[in-house]
Structure 1
Amino acid sequence: MPLKTTQDDQLQLNLTPMIDVLFLLIIFFMVATKFTELERNIEVELPEVATAGEHESPREPRTVTVYADGRIALDGESLSRVELVERLTAARRASPDVEVMLNGDANCPFQHVADTLAACHESEIHQIGIAVELATAMSQPANTRK
């Protein structure tokens, strides 16, 4: 078996495709910049209308708070479970995509939170969020620390 005594040519990286892509990107950005400058320089007087209808700002989610003693508050106003169902049903009728953010006290029995979730379900509200805080390493129970 003959031994190889000469060394093959060095491998070379072909940069031509990369340079082509770079030039195309530069041309694209130059043309796109020109179009935005042209749009800014167009002097057009926009038509006026008497009314444009009501502008609705994005709705904030309704906040339901469950306190440790079982009290319920909707947007800071204390009310009973029946009143909560009535208010949430009315809110859903006014806006079918109403959202509810549920803040439950960490020291309250879960039954109170479950009752509040059931009230949201009775009101046919399907977008419900539950607020929590991330636990720090010092506040985690000893058996869950890593």
Structure 2
Amino acid sequence: MNLYRSSRTRAQIQVVPMIDILLILLIFFVVSTTFKKPREILSIDLPTVHEIPSDTTTEQRSVIAVDALGNITLDSLAVPEGLLESYLAAFQKQNPGRKLELEADRKLPLERLLSVWEALTKAGIPIKEVPARIKLPEKS
């Protein structure tokens, strides 16, 4: 008894066209890749008062306090947004010889601190005469 067996042909995968496609993809990725140029970055850790010897002073200064949210107070008087320059000008007229001191929160954004310094400059107060104290978070 002879059973008919059909000859099965194996499915053949054509490798040459696949190599061509892979080569074209490789060339495409090499040409379209943008290489990043290395940049030098300088990390700066600013020293705190505990690391640098400092002088103590006994003169009375008025305090411009800025909290982490950007709210400004001038000697416990809340200053509305955008009116710091006019408040400083009025403060200088009322207290001609009084010096100022800036007390800023450590989490205060830099742009907000720069806007305070700009208001001081526009009000005619030199920034060099306004020392800044940065409030550090209290250790528990």
For normalisation by structure 2, the TM-score amounts to 0.47
Larger Rg: 2
Comparing both structures, which one devotes a greater share of its residues to helix? 1
For normalisation by structure 1, the TM-score amounts to 0.45
